[in-house]
Structure 1
Amino acid sequence: MAGIIKFFILFFVIAIAVAILIKKASKPRYLKIAEMTNLPPELGVNKNLHLEKRVQKLEASLPSEFKERLKRRYLSEHPKATEAYFEACFYELKRFFIMCSLLNNVLMFSKKVDAIWHEMLMYTKEYEKFSSDLCGEHIHHAPNDTVTPDPHGRAWFDLLYAKLFAFTEFTPVAWGTFFQNPLHPGLLEELRTLSVEDLSRRYFRENVDQDTVHALLTEIKNEIERFKKENDPYKGLKLSPTAIDSAPILAGAMLYYSYHHFDEYEGHMGKLNPANNYSGNSTACGSSCRNDNHDSSCSGDGGGSSCGSSCGGGCGSS
């Protein structure tokens, strides 16, 4: 009798272990990546851009109690999500808010990240205080059902994101494939010919830290000037699509091939990083944060069109 009981206990333990293994093996890839991703401190900002105080201000604007309530709500509304997945998406949302606090217009290109923003809006008092503490006014998020491709908007987002933040393993999971679209020739001409002061007035908020803006725009302008005089510095180079340290190289390649080979951009980027599909994909989704009266839209989750919602009014003074 004792032997039979031991057999059933052993069988029960093995069955549970097998069930756990099957569950882990069947876990979606994006959840697995979230669990293995190391999230750098201070949002992984570029140390040359003097963003540390802005990150500290953001963190101070998001009390731990608010975050924990938000996490509980999000996980209850999204039962398939894990705590690690929430943390990775929330990390990317905080990066998005940093961009909103710097720029006049920021499109949201991620359904995953936007979903947490939607949950934040349910806490009206806490969200209003967060917006006011970080930006001096409400960061609006208004629905927009129009689907309008915006590959050039996505390219501008990709360049700025790559200049501001270090990529993590979860970054392309959250935002989709980067650098699929070339920068618009008109934007490149502005970046090349306009002064840092003029570009700052055109694209950045009035009260933004000018040291940050000057460092960011000077880096981009210097890169464009260098590329004007160089033969293709990326010819024959092959990058691993899974290497997160490839992002700065791909950002530079996007600038170079947008400037010199706009019409053949996909082919050149495809040779540099053949595992990614450079087909001019313009699917994305989310919201925008802007300080004018125009709305942008989004759809999908990865390229350069927008759908879902827009952020009218933006976040003003810092």
Structure 2
Amino acid sequence: MFELILLFIAIAVIAPLVLKYTTKPNYQKVAEMTVLPPQLGIRDDLSLQKTVRKMERALPHEFKEKIKRRYLAEHSKATEAYFEATFYELQRFFIMCSLLNNVPMFSKKVDEIWHEMLMYTKEYEKFSSDLCGEHIHHAPNDAVEPDPHGRAWFDLLYAKLFTFTDFTHIAWGTFFQHPLHQGLLQELHTLSVEELGKRYFRENADQDTVHSLLTKIKGDIKRISKAHDPYKGLKVSPHSIDSAPILAGAMLYYSYHHSEQYEMYMGKLSPASSYYSGNTTACGSGCGNHRDDGGGHDSSGSDSSCGSSCGGGCGSS
């Protein structure tokens, strides 16, 4: 009898622990199933290959392994697959940093790895200098405010630069939840590629990529400014990787034509999106090169936020 009592006690104590450590959260399962495209999944037509090679030189395998060991030691529930998928998204973020004056950090998951990276002061300083030409600051701000316009700009650029994976929405939340700011749309429509490049992109960014990216966006806006609704009657999933190009185009179209009713129109296109919430908060950080040349929308202003800087902060997802 005594042995049975001990057995029941052991089962009662051990079973919850076994369940805790053998039942993986969904995001861990998605990470394990996700195929990470080579060269960070960059769009082939944007001349980003040179920037990816620059990233690879700036972030050698030995440095990555240090970050990985530290992160896994600090996050006991994280798997190697989860680290790899999240680190992949951090590298994409840094690619954006190397191109743009301002890039908010909208993911707590990605930011956690960035925090561990910062612990290696000398290696991080060299990485920043090799990739961006200067320090990529990480300056968390406790008073974080929602930044829907900054998030919309981030979503558009991310979609233009990278192919989506099954892990993308795990890292960044749901995309295309917010319309682009009308002032930014007007600038994208009327300013030249050269003017836009000077306003929103780094002086030492790969100019072939910048030119190709802005030319594509301006071409998209020119087409949607005259088109009848090409998305009427369509239904897509917000988290399907095949839906991303459609949703990115719809974000541009409905931002341009139906900004005030954006949520309604996007909800019709992607009904499931109403059950999810894309993150819109970000902490500020900078490379010391942020500027607003008169007509732009400075990220520190209350009216609009088209980015932050070469780094991001403590956003949540």
Q: TM-score, normalised by structure 2?
A: 0.84
1:259 aligns with 2:253: no
Residues 98 and 66 from structure 1, CA distance in 2 versus in 1: closer, same or farther, beyond 3 angstroms? same
Report deviation, 1:238: 0.6
**What is the DSSP-based 3-state SS (H/G/I as helix, E as strand, rest coil) of the residue aligned with 2:81?**
helix
My pick for the range that moved more, 61-70 or 182-191, is 61-70
- In structure 2, what residue type is equivalent to 1:108? M
**What is the DSSP-based 3-state SS (H/G/I as helix, E as strand, rest coil) of the residue aligned with 2:142?**
strand
- Distance (whole Å) between structure 1 residues aligned to residue 61 and residue 311 of structure 2: 27
Aligned to 1:300: none
Residues 75 and 197 from structure 1, CA distance in 2 versus in 1: closer, same or farther, beyond 3 angstroms? same
- Distance (whole Å) between structure 2 residues aligned to residue 310 and residue 80 of structure 1: 32
* Aligned with residue 142 of structure 1, among 139, 143, 148: 139
Aligned to 2:86: 89
Aligned to 2:36: 39
Count of equivalent residues: 288
Aligned to 1:98: 95
1:77 aligns with 2:74: yes
Structure 1 stretches of 5 or more lacking a match? 1-17, 298-303, 314-318
Is 1:152–1:184's contact at 8 Å kept on the other side of the alignment?
Answer: yes
Aligned to 2:109: 112
Report deviation, 1:286: 4.9
Aligned to 2:5: none
Q: TM-score, normalised by structure 1?
A: 0.84
Q: Which has the higher strand share?
A: 1
1:292 aligns with 2:290: yes
- Distance (whole Å) between structure 1 residues aligned to residue 203 and residue 51 of structure 2: 15
Is 2:34–2:167's contact at 8 Å kept on the other side of the alignment?
Answer: yes
My pick for the range that moved more, 239-248 or 163-172, is 239-248
Structure 2 stretches of 5 or more lacking a match? 1-14, 293-297, 313-317
Is 2:31–2:82's contact at 8 Å kept on the other side of the alignment?
Answer: yes
- Distance (whole Å) between structure 1 residues aligned to residue 79 and residue 291 of structure 2: 37
Aligned to 1:64: 61
Aligned to 2:8: none
Aligned residues with identical type, % of pairs: 72
- In structure 2, what residue type is equivalent to 1:249? I
Is 1:49–1:215's contact at 8 Å kept on the other side of the alignment?
Answer: yes
Name the Cα RMSD after superposition: 2.7
- Distance (whole Å) between structure 2 residues aligned to residue 231 and residue 124 of structure 1: 53
- Distance (whole Å) between structure 2 residues aligned to residue 67 and residue 154 of structure 1: 28
- Distance (whole Å) between structure 1 residues aligned to residue 244 and residue 202 of structure 2: 26
Report deviation, 1:138: 1.1
Is 1:179–1:254's contact at 8 Å kept on the other side of the alignment?
Answer: yes
* Aligned with residue 222 of structure 2, among 205, 213, 225: 225
1:214 aligns with 2:232: no
Report deviation, 1:240: 2.4
Report deviation, 1:241: 3.1
The 5 A counterparts of 1:166-245 are: 166-245=163-242
Q: Deviations over 1:120-174 (max 9, x none)?
A: 0100011111111111211111221112111000000000000000000000000
- In structure 2, what residue type is equivalent to 1:267? M
- Distance (whole Å) between structure 2 residues aligned to residue 292 and residue 217 of structure 1: 19
**What is the DSSP-based 3-state SS (H/G/I as helix, E as strand, rest coil) of the residue aligned with 2:242?**
helix
Is 1:144–1:296's contact at 8 Å kept on the other side of the alignment?
Answer: no
Residues 286 and 30 from structure 1, CA distance in 2 versus in 1: closer, same or farther, beyond 3 angstroms? farther
Aligned to 1:9: none
Is 2:137–2:286's contact at 8 Å kept on the other side of the alignment?
Answer: yes
Report deviation, 1:208: 1.5
- Distance (whole Å) between structure 2 residues aligned to residue 251 and residue 216 of structure 1: 14
**What is the DSSP-based 3-state SS (H/G/I as helix, E as strand, rest coil) of the residue aligned with 1:197?**
helix
Report deviation, 1:296: 6.8
The 5 A counterparts of 1:12-31 are: 22=19, 26-31=23-28
Aligned to 1:275: 272
Report deviation, 1:60: 1.1
Is 2:102–2:286's contact at 8 Å kept on the other side of the alignment?
Answer: yes
